[in-house]
Structure 1
Amino acid sequence: MLSKVLLFFVALRLASVFLVRTWYVPDEYWQSLEVAHRLVFGYGHLTWEWTKGIRSYVYPSVIALLYKLLALVKLDTVELLVLLPRVLQALLSAYSDYRFYIWSNKSKWSTFVLASSWFWFYTASRTLSNTLETSLTVIALSYFPWAATESTTFLWPVALSVFVRPTSAIPWIPLCLYHMKKSSHPIWELLLKRYLVIGFIVGTFTVAIDSFLHGSLLLSSYNFLQFNVLKGIGSWYGEHPWYWYVNVGLPTILGVGTLPFLLAAVETIRNRQVYHERSVLLVAIAFTLVVYSLLPHKEFRFLLQILPLCLYLSGDYLSRWSRKASGKLVWFAAIALLIGNLVPAGYLSFVHQRGALDVMSSLQSIARNYRDEFNLPAKILFLLPCHSTPFQSHVHHNTSMRFLRCEPNFANDESYVDEAETFHQEPTSWLRRNLPVHPRSALPTHIVAFDTLEPQIKDFLAMYEQKESFFHSDYTTDRIGANILIYERFNPNKGTTTTAVPPVQQDPVEQQSAELENEG
Structure 2
Amino acid sequence: MSSSKKATEKKAAVANGKQSSGVDLSAPVAKQTRDTLAVIFAWRLINALCVRTFFQPDEYFQALEPAWHLVYGEGSGAWLTWEWVHGLRSSLHPAIFALGYFIVENVLGPLTRVKARWLLAAPKVMQTGFAALGDWYTWRLAERLYGQNSTVAWSVLAMTLLNPWQWYTSTRTFSNCLEATLTSMALYYFPWELLGVKGDANTESQYEFEFSSGPLFKTKDEINRFTLDGKSPLTRQSAVILFREAILCGSFALGLSLLGDRQYYGDWTFPPFTWMRFNVVHDLAVFYGENDWHYFLSQGIPLLCTTIAPFALKGLFKSNNLASISAEPVITGNAIKALSFAVLTTISSLSFVSHKEVRFLIPLLPALHILAAPHVTSFFTTALETAGTCPPPALGWKRKPILLAGIVVNIIIGGYLSYFHAAAPISVMTYLRTEFERIHPKHLAIPRPAKAASNEIQSELFVLFLTPCHATPWRSHLVYPALRARALTCDPPVNTPPGSRMRKEYQDETSRFYADPVEFLRTLWPRDKPGEDMARYIVGFEGVGDALLEYFEGSGPGARHGIYLKEVWSEWNGLFTDDERKSGRLVVWATGFYDDEMVY
TM value normalised by structure 2: 0.73
Question: Does the CA-based 8 Å contact 1:78-1:395 persist in structure 2?
Answer: no
Q: Secondary structure at the match of 2:591?
A: strand
Deviation at 1:428, TM superposition (A): 0.7
- Within the alignment, does 1:110 sit opposite 2:156 as a pair? yes
Query: 1 CA distance for matches of 2:378 and 2:532?
Result: 71
Is it true that 1:401 corresponds to 2:485 in the alignment?
yes
Query: For residue 571 of structure 2, what is the aligned residue in structure 1?
Result: 470
The amino acid that maps onto 1:299 is E
Shift of 1:123: 1.0
Counterpart in 1 of 2:595? Answer: 499
Looking at structure 2, the residues matched to 306 and 3 of structure 1 have their Cα atoms a distance apart, in angstroms, of 25
What secondary structure does 2:441 align onto?
helix
Q: 2:508 aligns with which of 409, 412, 418?
A: 418
2:351, 2:320 → 1: CA distance?
22
2:589 maps to amino acid: Y
CA distance in 2, matches of 1:183, 1:333: 44
Q: Which has the larger radius of gyration?
A: 2
Change in Cα spacing, 1:98 to 1:225, as seen in structure 2 (3 Å) is: same
Secondary structure of the 1:138 match is helix
In the alignment, which residue of structure 2 is the partner of 1:285?
343
Question: What is the CA deviation profile of residues 152-202 of structure 1, one whole-angstrom value per residue up to 9, with x for unaligned ones?
Answer: xxxxxxxxxxxxxxxxxxxxxxx9x99xx6343358734652212221112
Q: How does 1:370-381 map to 2 (within 5 A)?
A: 370-372=439-441, 376=457, 377-381=460-464
Quote the residue 1:64 is aligned against.
98
Q: State the shift of 1:502 in Å.
A: 7.5
Q: Which amino acid aligns with 2:548?
A: I
Moved more, 336-345 or 68-77: 68-77
Q: In the alignment, which residue of structure 2 is the partner of 1:51? A: 85
- The within-5 A match list for 1:116-135 is 116-135=162-181
Distance 1:434 1:270 in 2: 68
RMSD over aligned CA atoms reads 2.8
Q: 2:474 aligns with which of 359, 367, 391?
A: 391
Asked whether the 8 Å contact 2:461–2:534 carries over to 1, the reply is no
CA contact (8 A) 1:82 1:394 kept: yes
Q: Indicate if the aligned counterparts of 2:462 and 2:537 stay in contact, CA closer than 8 A.
A: yes
Match of 1:368?
437
User: Any residues of structure 2 matched to 1:228-247 within 5 Å, and which?
Assistant: 228-247=279-298
Amino acid at match of 1:27: D
Task: Look up the equivalent residue of 2:319 and give its one-letter code.
Answer: T
Q: 1:416 to 1:55 in 2, by over 3 A?
A: same
For 1:10-49, what aligned pairs fall within 5 Å after superposition? 10-42=41-73, 43=76, 44-49=78-83
Between the aligned partners of 1:337 and 1:314, the Cα distance in structure 2 is 15
Residue among 583, 586, 589 paired with 1:484: 586
In structure 1, the residue matched to 2:207 is none
Answer yes or no: is the 8 Å Cα contact 1:368–1:397 preserved in 2. Answer: no
Q: Say yes or no: does 1:100 pair with 2:131.
A: no
**Aligned counterparts of 1:149 and 1:246: Cα–Cα separation in 2:** 28
Q: Which amino acid aligns with 1:418?
A: D
Mapped contact 2:63–2:94 kept (Cα < 8 A): yes
**How far, CA to CA, are the matches of 1:11 and 1:461 in structure 2?**
51
In the aligned structure 1, how far is the partner of 2:486 from the partner of 2:82?
A: 16
Residue matched to 1:171: none
Q: 1:439 is matched with which residue: 530, 538, 551?
A: 530
Cα deviations by residue, 1:274-331 (Å, 9 ceiling, x for unpaired) = 8332221111111111111111101110111111111111112223443339945253
**Residue of structure 2 in register with 1:339 after alignment:** 408
Q: CA 1:7–1:182 in structure 2 vs 1: closer, same or farther (change >3 Å)?
A: same
Structure 1: any 5+ residue segments left out of the alignment? 151-174, 492-497, 504-520
Distance 1:291 1:220 in 2: 20
Equivalence for 1:87: 125
| C-alpha deviation, 1:149, in angstroms | 8.2
Does the CA contact (< 8 Å) of 1:55 and 1:224 recur in 2?
Answer: yes
Paired residue type of 2:65? E
Name the CA distance, whole Å, in 1 between partners of 2:376 and 2:239: 40
Give the helix-richer structure, 1 or 2: 1
Letter in 1 for 2:523: R
**How far did 1:334 drift?**
3.4
Distance 2:425 2:176 in 1: 21
Shift of 1:221: 2.1
SS of residue matched to 2:535: coil
Q: 1:442 to 1:48 in 2, by over 3 A?
A: closer
What is the number of residues matched between the two proteins? 471
Tell me by how many angstroms 1:235 deviates: 1.1
Q: Are the aligned partners of 1:386 and 1:420 in contact in 2 as well (CA < 8 Å)?
A: yes
Residue identity in the other structure for 1:3: R
Q: Is the 8 A contact 2:525 2:531 kept in 1?
A: no
Cα pair 2:195 2:335 within 8 Å, conserved: no
Q: Pick from 324, 341, 365: which aligns with 1:307? A: 365
The one of 38, 51, 57 equivalent to 1:7 is: 38
Q: Structure 1 residues 48 and 441 mapped into 2: Cα distance closer, same or farther (>3 Å)?
A: closer
The whole-number CA distance in structure 2 between the counterparts of 1:436 and 1:269 is 70
Separation of aligned partners in 2, 1:266 and 1:186: 31
The amino acid across from 1:484 in the alignment is L
TM-score where L is the length of structure 1 = 0.84
Equivalent residue letter for 2:125: V
Alpha-carbon distance in 2 for matches of 1:148, 1:280 = 12
Aligned to 2:558: none
Cα drift, residue 40 of structure 1: 1.4
Q: Distance in 2 between matches of 1:219 and 1:355?
A: 37
CA drift at 1:349: 0.4
Contact 2:461 2:486 in 1 (8 A): no
1:162-241 matched pairs, under 5 angstroms: 182-185=233-236, 189-190=240-241, 193-241=244-292
Say whether 1:144 aligns with 2:190. yes
- Tell whether the 8 Å contact from 1:9 to 1:97 is kept in structure 2 after alignment: yes
Aligned partners of 1:231 and 1:286: how far apart in 2?
28
Q: Residue deviations 1:395-427, cap 9 Å, x none?
A: 111222111111111123232211111111111
**Could you say what secondary structure the match of 2:318 adopts?**
helix
Separation in structure 2 between the aligned mates of residue 269 and residue 460 of structure 1, nearest angstrom: 66
Larger displacement relative to structure 2 (254-263 or 350-359):
254-263
1:449 match:
540
Aligned equivalents of 1:270, 1:428: Cα separation in 2: 67
Q: 1:27 Cα deviation (Å)? A: 0.5
Gaps of 5+ in 2: 1-30, 144-148, 197-225, 323-328, 387-394, 444-455, 554-562
- 8 Å Cα contact 2:89/2:271 also seen in 1: yes
Question: What is the Cα deviation at residue 94 of structure 1?
Answer: 0.7
Partner letter of residue 58 of structure 1? L
- CA deviations over 1:465-497 (Å, ceiling 9, x no partner): 111112212225541122111111125xxxxxx
